Structure 1
Amino acid sequence: MTRQLDQEVEPAVTPADPPAPNAARRVLHAIGPGNLSLIGALIVVVAIFGSLNSGFLDLANLAGIGEAVTVFGLLAVVQTVIIICGALDISVGSQAGIASVVSAMAFTATGSNAFVGILAALGVGIVVGAVNGLIIVYGRVNPVIATLATLAAYKGLAQLISGGKAQGFVLDNDLFIFIARGKIAGLPVPIIILAVVALGMHILLKYTDIGRNIYAIGGNDTAARLAGININKYLIAVFMLAGVVSAIAGIILTARTGSGQPVSGSEGLELKAITAAALGGCALKGGKGTIGGTLLAVVLLGALDNGLNVVGVNTFWQNVAQGTLLVAAVVIQQRRSGERAVGLPA
């Protein structure tokens, strides 16, 4: 006789869903820990210089900071794309210089036709960017060495075609005046140009297959090649993009100064662009970086430069500060990556 035992069947326990992150955590995740440190540094810089000189916080001065960073901000944004791709372009400042000269000279040669001057500058930007890419890809030259060489070459070319002097005068033209001093919805045109270019780069990197491939190339070029990505084509295209954006920076430089500047307005911009990209979180070995972080670093550098000027610090200290920030950014990246320091035991 079998006895049937009544067994109580316990209901299955489903694991509770993890609590949804609150709004504050979502915001912090979206900003990123690296960007939070930049925001904190920016707040400290603003607080220090604002306390030392009340004029630092004037709206006119803050707007001046925004306009002052547009040229090197454009170069920093496109430098971010290049670094993410695993390369580096040291010649962007010289590219801006030669585009500035060409825009002014074409403007003068065509009887003050601003559109021809702008198109000529953009065309030169495409050519010099393509030259960089072709040297790197088909000459099998390291990007740092290749663009170090073209840095000197483009600078010399700008001086040759201009005779080493500022060329033309564009401030009697409505379009160049609008680029330099115009406003749209209360915002200066150069700031709007920087915002549009930065937004375009952000969308390219984050929401397109092209952007994902750029990250893949910088992260592991061997895996990217095995996945079927044409690395050579991407490198040439990225350097051509750098040439176009550098040309836009050169056009703004021409409009702002009123003439084509072979060297004086563009010298040193490449260091500031690389510093901003590194501070913004770009890994110099590639595969990592964001446009938002770079823009925050651009604003931080602009506030630092302006603050030093406002409180009367010798302008040579700006170069010291930029170099120090670049070293600090690279050291922080090295520590976070966990890689062995060069020359030290494992």
Structure 2
Amino acid sequence: MTNMPNLPGAPQRAPVSPWKSRAQWIWSEYSVVVAFAAIVLIASLADTHFASVNNVTNILRQVSIIGIISLGMTMVMLSGGIDLSVGAVLALLGALSVSVLNATQSVWLALLAALLAGAGVGALNGLMVTKGKIPSFIATLGMMASARSIVLYFAQGGSLSGKAEGYTAIANTEWFGLAVPVYIFLLMTVLVYVLMHKTRFGRYVYAIGSNEKAALLSAIRVNRVKLGVYMLCSVFVAVSAIIESSRLNSISSASSGISYELDAIAAVIIGGTRMSGGRGKVIGTFFGVLILGVLNNMLNLMNISPYLQGLVKGLIIIAAVLLQKKEPQ
């Protein structure tokens, strides 16, 4: 089919170069991958130790906990919401897991308790947002303060340590040179990718994030989908809580999970998910997590003060949002 000529008097449109259009599409879809490759290249040139096998496996181990949380945060943000409670809830669920472990000497009961409690916390967040009509920012902010207060009271501001064998093996066992948490992170990335991009539930999440009123008029059960999203997010936090408490065989009521919500949100935004919801990709979050991990590692190798790492993250978030605003429509 040939292009129709411009009508007389109609505004003339400059032809778009197919090369320029292709470049814009590649940048829009794969900018986070390009950014990751560039950062890895710079880090490799800046320090010869960066590309060593031990350092790479160490980066993957370090990002696995935040990575799992970020996957749950991606689903929430795609639906147009946000969850600020993930860090405090991690500390609470980790303390619960260790407490059940000590009381029953059963690793399986400890895992089950953390997962069920995570689903319960997520359901409470979802009900506040859907039935209570409370903005997700406020609802999860309240949950963050409540969860941190509960775990501080329960542990008297200190730490809880596990007293049963086998629990530490969850996070400290290695298969083929990689720690088990890395495999869990990769597996959950695949599962969330399939859920969000290959199922009806995922399509509904995108639809709600794009236009909640239109989704409601399309007979989508908006409240049920949003409830499911918040429950999944908190279950993912429970998995991260199990890994963190298993890695150290303890959980700190005061420091565990501190600023994890900021790291998760940063990874999701860097990965291209929009704060308003409805647009973003799970694979983008995956590379966003890796970018944060590489940056933290590079700053440590360069002996840059840890107090400045927050500044770097903040600048990256701002730059990512600015680039999203300039994406071609």
Same fold (TM over 0.5): yes
Match of 2:10 in 1: none
- Superposition RMSD in Å: 2.1
**d(CA) in 1 for partners of 2:132, 2:52:** 51
**Secondary structure of 2:326's aligned partner:** helix
- Paired with 1:335 and 1:36, the residues of 2 have a C-alpha distance of 15
Instruction: Percent identity, please.
Output: 30
Q: Which amino acid aligns with 1:317?
A: L
The amino acid across from 1:64 in the alignment is N
Residue 78 of structure 1 corresponds to which residue in structure 2? 72
Question: 2:273 is matched with which residue?
Answer: 282
Q: Quick one: which of 213, 237, 251 aligns to 2:204?
A: 213
Match of 1:57, SS state, is: coil
- 1:185, distance to aligned residue in structure 2 (A): 4.3
Correspondences of 1:87-126 after superposition (within 5 Å):
87-110=81-104, 112-126=105-119
The Cα shift of 1:297 comes to: 0.7
Contact 1:100 1:262 in 2 (8 A): no
Aligned mate of 2:54, from 52, 55, 60: 60
Tell me what 1:46 maps to.
40
2:152 is matched with 159
How far the C-alpha of 1:153 sits from its partner, in A, is 1.0
Match for residue 179 of structure 1? 170
Deviates more, 1:44-53 or 1:198-207: 44-53
Q: Which consecutive unaligned segments of at least 5 residues does structure 2 have?
A: 3-18
Quick check: 1:102–1:260 contact (8 Å CA) kept in 2? Answer: no
**One-letter identity of the residue aligned with 1:84:** L
Amino acid of the structure 1 residue aligned with 2:68? L
Offset at residue 181 of structure 1 (A): 1.6
Superposed CA offset, 1:20-67 (max 9, x none): xxxxx9xx99x9534533233223322333233211111001000000
| TM-score with structure 2 setting the length | 0.89
Work out whether residues 97 and 155 of structure 1, in 8 Å CA contact, stay in contact via their aligned partners in 2. Answer: yes
Mapping 1:216-235, distance limit 5 Å: 216-235=207-226
The range that moved more, 178-187 or 242-251, is 178-187
Q: Distance in 2 between matches of 1:195 and 1:320?
A: 28
Structure 2 residue identity aligned to 1:69: V
SS of equivalent to 1:282: coil
Residues 49/337 of structure 1: CA separation in 2 closer, same or farther (3 Å cut): closer
Q: Which runs of 5+ in 1 are unaligned?
A: 1-13, 16-24, 339-346
Q: Quick one: structure 1 residues 123 and 91, their matched pair in 2 at CA, closer, same or farther if it must change by over 3 Å?
A: same
Residue pairs, 1:1-346, within 5 angstroms: 33-34=27-28, 36-110=30-104, 112-169=105-162, 173-174=165-166, 176-336=167-327
Q: Larger radius of gyration, structure 1 or 2?
A: 1
> 1:124 Cα deviation (Å)?
1.3
Q: Deviations over 1:210-267 (max 9, x none)?
A: 1111111111111100110111111111111111000000000001121123241311
**Count of equivalent residues:** 310
2:63 maps to a residue whose letter is V
CA separation of 1:232 and 1:154: change in aligned 2, threshold 3 A: same
